[in-house]
Structure formats: structure tokens, C-alpha cells
Amino acid sequence: MNNENQTAVTIEHRNHVGLVTVNYAPVNALSQAVRAGLVDAIEQLEADFNTKVIVIRCEGRTFIAGADIKEFGKPPTAPFLPDVVNRIEACEKPVIASLFGTSLGGGFEVALACHYRVAINSAKVGLPEVNLGLIPGAGGTQRSMRLLGPKQALDMVTSGKHVGVTALKDSGLTDAIFEKDLDKNTIAFAEQLIAEGKLTPRRVGEMNVLGDFDWQAAKAGIVKKARGKDAPVVAFDVMEKTQAMSISDGMAYEREQFLILRKSEQSAALIHAFGAEKAASKLSIDAKPLDVVKVGIIGGGNMGSGIATAFLSSKFSVQLIEQTEEALEGGLGRIKGNFAGNVKRGRMSQQAADDCVAQLNGSIDYQTLADCDLVIEAVFEDIDVKKTLFAKLDDVCKADAILATNTSYLDIDEIAATISRPQQVVGMHFFSPANIMKLMEVVKADKTSDQVVATAMNVGKKLKKVSVLVGVCFGFAGNRMYTRYGREIQQMLLEGATVEQIDKAMTGWGMAMGPLAVQDLSGIDIGHNARSAQPFPEHDQGYFRAAATMVEAGRLGRKTQAGFYTYGEDGKPQNDPQVEELLRAKAKSLGITQRKIDAEEIVDRALFALISEGLALMEAGIVQRLSDIDVIWLHGYGFPRHKGGPMFQAQQLGDVNVANSLADLQNQFGEDIWPITDTDAMG
């Protein structure tokens, strides 16, 4: 063994058991050193006369969590993982995998190549390659269908889900599951094999795939769930094509398809998304987060009750404040309703829900916030209302309490300036429904202290949110871009694109929902009223005029059964010629000549509006990194993950192409609508 392999993989002898330990922080990923170390260790122990059984175990937090993502994009180096797993399976002495944590991807492929698998009961396994736009590339498709059967294997490979070993108990995955003392019990298991003389390797690769599975019946569901992602469909194709092949032929085809996907743009986008999320959680400041145990939430409407539900679910204690007893009852009822819904949908047990609700209290008395570590307001979006509220909090809250606002647009500097401790004020911008949506923007105001920022980010982590640090501006990062995107969509409606055409173009491209269907769902009047509080941008005659036209016609969205669409008894959206008529008349009154607009132009203009605003945000220092914008759009606005995010799309196009396209749009529509954006930030 060379030096690096020696530290990543070590060997110990326990009587006749050879212990191979992988120790490669943080998650024992299969770096070149680990791969080489595993091969060396197997060869050494196979040749060792004294060793009868070999155990592969890991140090740290988990068994091997997969191929080393940091090596992706670099030229592959030997030994390659398929050769490593085949070498393990070919070993003449029994090899046992000792599983804990999350054995994922290549890590699970190593486990499947071992002859026995034992696990601690909390261990999970999975083949999450599809989440990176890949399929398993080292026998995962082949050995999983042999050992677990095609149905279970297909489900795991195409969904990427992590599955508990206890749930797979009956599938034959494990030979023993332990409640504690994994190492001690694994060695005892190995010694028992020796005592019973069970020294012949059992190779999954030599098993046959069960022949009675209806592959075609499974296909439609997989294609539907893939929603434009290639990898799950390729995985199905590989498994179906190879089910009757030998393991070596099957692995050869699997590898061929894996390598094709590795070069794909979807895989690059999904790997970018993974890295972007990890990067977003990192702060350049060095401050220790404060402990947060008790959280005050002001406002029990949909937003406040969603936020409270999120905190209670993560074991915080919550004090809900409302203005009247009646409103308080309503808020508490909504929170309890959320938990009841979770129990009904099988997301949590009744006991777990009861434990969460037991941490909930409510009052109309602000004094009850005195011992809260963090208070978040989710009241009406009005700066004066918020200022009055913060003055009250300044009076009642303890000195080091963090005072957070959930405002979506308002100037947090202005709010903070009115109280005696602006350094304690921060934005915690949740997205609705706050107990479901993953995204939280942590908004650092001018005077917010580093410790308060670190605490808010840390709270986000405990809530299992994807938190992104942003600065103060109208709408912060997400809603500012969303406004620009919405503006462009609205402009295209006036120029002659139809409602259906726009929504079809954007969902066809991959957005989770069409932008106009979204407006109908959230209520066209909500955005309209928020915009009406701002001065009208005189330079932009078309600015959200289509929405204003709908509101003027009483078409507020789903809630009035009519918005950009009309909704029948069944709640399904239908096109309404009246909408086209209203928009045509509005365009005429504004002097806009209507024309035919195709899907490509719709997508291009919507995407470039996002790119242009994203670059402006970066230039203004509102976000720390371009990739933070992608995280915001992936988790808050239904941007397709396999397209990486708007800024990833820009980077794929390259700075020269982006600059040229933005210049074209500026020439066509004017500098006021398409201001000059500097593409330098793209690097």
C-alpha cells in the first residue's frame, strides 16, 4: 500500500477475522485512495493464511456514501469502481459489509458486492445516482435486481430514495440487523461463520434475476415521475435490457450508459445543484450561533401558522401571539390542523404529533415573549404596522433575543433603525406553505451582527431548510427576480402571447407550474396590491398591466373562479376568450401592436429576465455567490433541478453569448426595460 491508501484504508487482525477499515472524512467517499486501498486490503487478506473472513467497516459518521463527488469532472483514475467491486466479489474468502449511516451509490455497490451484509438498525441504503443525473455505474443496477428483486431494485434505482435496512429485511439484503454495538456484533457474526465452517463466498453476481416481473407495466409510471429527467428512464432501460444477461455483460452495458450520462448537461446541472446547496450553507463570517430553544411567532395566519408548524416539527417550543382571542384560537387551530394532516397522510405518528403540539402555547399578551430567544413576526405587509410591532418587541424581549421579520419585500434597515438594538434584527423570509417549502432567505440588514446571521442560518439548518444569505433590497433576491420574470411574462401577454401558450412553454421547458397558473393560485390581487403601494415605474408602460386588467375585471384567480383562466366545477383551468379580448383591448390602448410569439421566444425572454436580474443582484452584493441564486430558484420557485438554476443556465451559455443576447433584448425593447448588465460576475 502507498501512504495515502494506508491512511484511507487500514487493516487489523482479530484472530481469524481481517478487519478492513475505511477512514476518509467526511463521508468515506470512494476517492482514488479508498478504491486502491480496498483492492490492496482484499488482496493482502486473501493471501494471508491466518485470515478466514474479511469485514469491511468504516470510521466516522457513515459507511461509504458513494463515489467521491469532488472527483467528478476530473479524468477517471484507476482502479475504477466496477473493477474494485468485482475484485471484492471475486474474493475467495467471505467478505462482510458492516453498514451504518447511509450506504449510498458506490458505497451500496460495495456492500452488494460483499458476500454478507450486517447492519445497525438505523442504517439506510440507497442508489441516489439519479439525483445527480446518473445511474449506478459499478454494478448497482445489476446486483440490486438480483438480490432485492426487480420491483424493489427499480424503485430504488429510479427514485434515488434512501431506504431503511429494517424496511428491506424481508428482501434478503441483510444477514443480521443489530440494535447496538455494530463492531462487536459484526465480529461475532464473522466468528460464527468461521465456527460453522461457512467459508464459501456467496456471490450476488452469480444469482439470476426473477423472471416474472412485468417491466412494461412499470415503465409508464417511471417516465411520468421522471418529469423530464433522463437518468431514471435510462436506468429503467438498462435494467430491462440486461435482466437476463450475465453480470459481466450487464455491467458493461450499465457502464456504457453511465459514461454517456456523466457527460450530459443534466448531470452537470444536478451536480452543480448539489454543490450549490452545500456552498450556500457556508458563511465567510466566524461567529458562534446562539442557542435557540423558545421561539415567539407573531401572527397566526397561513404564514405564521406554517412557520410555527416548522419550528414545532423540529422540536422548538413556540409561543404564538395574536391580536384577539378569536384570532389566536384560529391560529392555534391551523397549527394543530397541520399536524393532524401530517398524521392523516402517514407523515408522522399520532404520538410524535402530540409531542410537537405539547410545545405550543398562545397568548394575546406580548409580555409572554419575554423569555423567547427568537421572535419572528408574520403580520400584515405594511412598514408602519411592522415598525410599531418592533417597538413593542424592543420593550418586552430579553436583551439578546433575535428579532426577525418574515417580510417578503419591505426595507428591513428602515424597520431596524426604529429600535434600540438594530444589530439584533434580521430577515427570516419563509416561503408559503412555510412548513413544506424548503427555502428560507436569511436577510442581513445593514447593522445585523454576525452572530445573529450565524444563528439564523443555524436555525434554518435545524428546521431542515435550505437557507441562503441575502442582503436588503426590494424583494431580496428571490422576489426581486420573480418580479422581473413576472414583468416579462406580463409584457408578452400584451404583445400577443396567449395565457395557455406561456404556461405551456414554461412547463414544457421544465418549470413546475406555468407562471400564470401560479398567479391564479396565489391570487392576482395580492401582487397587484403590493405593487400598488410602490410608485408606478413610469418608464415601463406595460408593467404588470395584464394583471391589473384582470383585477379590474374582477378576475382575481382561483378564488373567484376566474383569473387568467376560468375554473369550472371540476376546478380545472380552461382558456377563456374573454381574457384574450381584455388583453387585446389593453394592448391597443397602450399602443402595443400584437404579433405571434413562439415558445422559444417566451422561454428565452423569461430566462434572460432572470439572468439579467441575477447578475444585477450579484453586482450589488445582495447575494454572496451566483450559485446562491440557483439554490433560491430551485427551492422557492419550482425551477427544474435538472436545469441547475438560472445562473447555471447562463454559465452554460457562456459570458459572451449572454452579453450578446442581453444586448439584443436591449436593442429590441430599450435600455429602461433591459438595463445594461455586467456579465463579469460569471467569471
CA dist 534 and 539 (Å) reads: 14
**Closest distance to ligand 3H9 from the beta carbon of 137 (Å):** 3
Q: Which stretch binds ligand 3H9 (CB under 6 A): 3-11, 127-135, 521-529, 542-550?
A: 127-135
- Of 68-76, 151-159, 225-233, 505-513, which part binds ligand 3H9 (CB under 6 A)? 68-76
Torsion on CA atoms 214, 215, 221, 226, rounded to nearest 10: 160
Q: Give the count of beta carbons closer than 10 Å to the beta carbon of residue 342.
A: 19
Please give the C-alpha separations between residue 398 and each of 456, 505, 677, in angstroms, as whole numbers.
Answer: 17, 52, 45
Least distance from C-beta 429 to ligand 3H9, angstroms? 23
Determine if 70 is a binding residue for ligand 3H9 (CB under 6 A). Answer: yes
Pairing type for strands 17-22 and 9-14 reads antiparallel
Which stretch in 60-68, 164-172, 236-244, 246-254 sits in contact with ligand 3H9 by CB under 6 A?
60-68
Q: How far is the CB of 338 from ligand 3H9 (least distance, A)?
A: 25
Q: Which of 169, 202, 227, 278 binds ligand 3H9 (CB under 6 A)?
A: 278
Could you say whether residue 104 binds ligand 3H9 (CB under 6 A)?
yes
Q: Which amino acid is at 559?
A: K
- In the complex, minimum distance from the CB of residue 278 to ligand 3H9, in angstroms, rounded to a whole number: 4
Active site residue 196: no
Rule CB under 6 A: say whether 557 interacts with ligand 3H9: no
Marked catalytic residue, from 109, 377, 441, 495: 109
Out of 132, 234, 505, 546, the residue judged to bind ligand 3H9 by CB under 6 A = 132
CB atoms closer than 10 angstroms to residue 657: 12
Please provide the distance, in angstroms rounded to a whole number, between the alpha carbons at the two ends of the chain. Answer: 41
Catalytic: which of 4, 12, 59, 129? 129
Identify whether the C-beta of residue 285 lies closer than 8 Å to the C-beta of residue 450.
yes
| Beta-strand runs (E) in 323-399 | 360-363, 374-377
Q: Is 370 in the site for ligand 3H9 (CB under 6 A)?
A: no
Strands (DSSP E) found in 100-236: 102-104, 116-120, 124-126, 162-164, 176-178
Tell me whether residue 162 or residue 219 sits nearer to ligand 3H9 (CB atom): 162
- Segment contacting ligand 3H9 by CB under 6 A, of 126-134, 315-323, 447-455, 603-611: 126-134
Q: Is 640 in the site for ligand 3H9 (CB under 6 A)?
A: no
Cβ–Cβ under 8 Å, residues 93 and 53 = yes
129 flagged as catalytic:
yes
Residue identified by cell 465567510 is 284
Q: Tell me the three cell numbers of residue 315.
A: 422540536
* Residue 11 in grid coordinates: 487493516
How many secondary structure helices (H) and strands (E) does the chain include? 27, 19
Residue 675 amino acid letter: P
Interface with ligand 3H9, residue 106, by CB under 6 A: yes
- Told to check if 105 binds ligand 3H9 by CB under 6 A, we report yes
Contacting residue, 26, 535, 591, 683, with ligand 3H9 by CB under 6 A:
26
> Which residues does residue 95 pair with via DSSP β-bridges, in sequence order?
54
The answer to the question of residue 140 lying near ligand 3H9 (CB under 6 A) is: yes
Structure-block grid coordinates of residue 443? 436577510
Question: Least distance (Å) from ligand 3H9 to the CB of residue 119?
Answer: 16
Task: Answer whether 120's CB lies under 8 Å from 99's CB.
Answer: yes
Task: Tell me the HSE value of 656 on the side-chain side, using a 13 A CA sphere.
Answer: 0
Q: Is 28 left (phi over 0), alpha (psi -120 to 50) or beta?
A: left
Tell whether residue 65 is a contact of ligand 3H9 (CB under 6 A): yes
| Residue whose CB is less far from ligand 3H9, 148 or 402 | 148
> Contacts from 193-197 at CB under 8 Å and sequence distance 24+?
193/53, 193/94, 193/96, 193/116, 194/16, 194/17, 194/52, 194/53
Nearer Cβ to ligand 3H9 (239/318)? 239
Single out the segment in contact with ligand 3H9 by CB under 6 A; choices: 21-29, 363-371, 477-485, 524-532: 21-29
Is 69 near ligand 3H9 (CB under 6 A)? yes
Q: Which is nearer to ligand 3H9, 129 or 495 (CB)?
A: 129
Between CA 150 and CA 541 the distance in angstroms is: 59
Residue 29 binds ligand 3H9 (CB under 6 A) = yes
3-state SS assignment for residue 631: helix
For ligand 3H9, give the closer residue by CB, 458 or 519: 458
- Strands (DSSP E) contained in 46-194 are 53-58, 95-99, 102-104, 116-120, 124-126, 162-164, 176-178
Q: Are 557 and 522 in contact (CB under 8 A)?
A: yes
* Contact flag: residue 254 with ligand 3H9 (CB under 6 A): no
Residue 37 is a binding residue for ligand 3H9 (CB under 6 A) = no
Return the C-alpha cell found at 20.
478492513
For ligand 3H9, give the closer residue by CB, 32 or 424.
Answer: 32
Q: Is residue 322 near ligand 3H9 by the rule CB under 6 A?
A: no
Q: Could you tell me which stretch among 37-45, 66-74, 302-310, 544-552 binds ligand 3H9 (CB under 6 A)?
A: 66-74
Is residue 457 near ligand 3H9 by the rule CB under 6 A?
A: no
CB of 164 to ligand 3H9, least distance (A): 13
| Segment contacting ligand 3H9 by CB under 6 A, of 65-73, 296-304, 449-457, 506-514 | 65-73
Residues at the site binding ligand 3H9, with contacts judged by CB under 6 A: 26-27, 29, 65-70, 81, 102, 104-106, 109, 128-129, 132, 134, 136-138, 140, 278
> Which residues belong to the active site?
109, 129
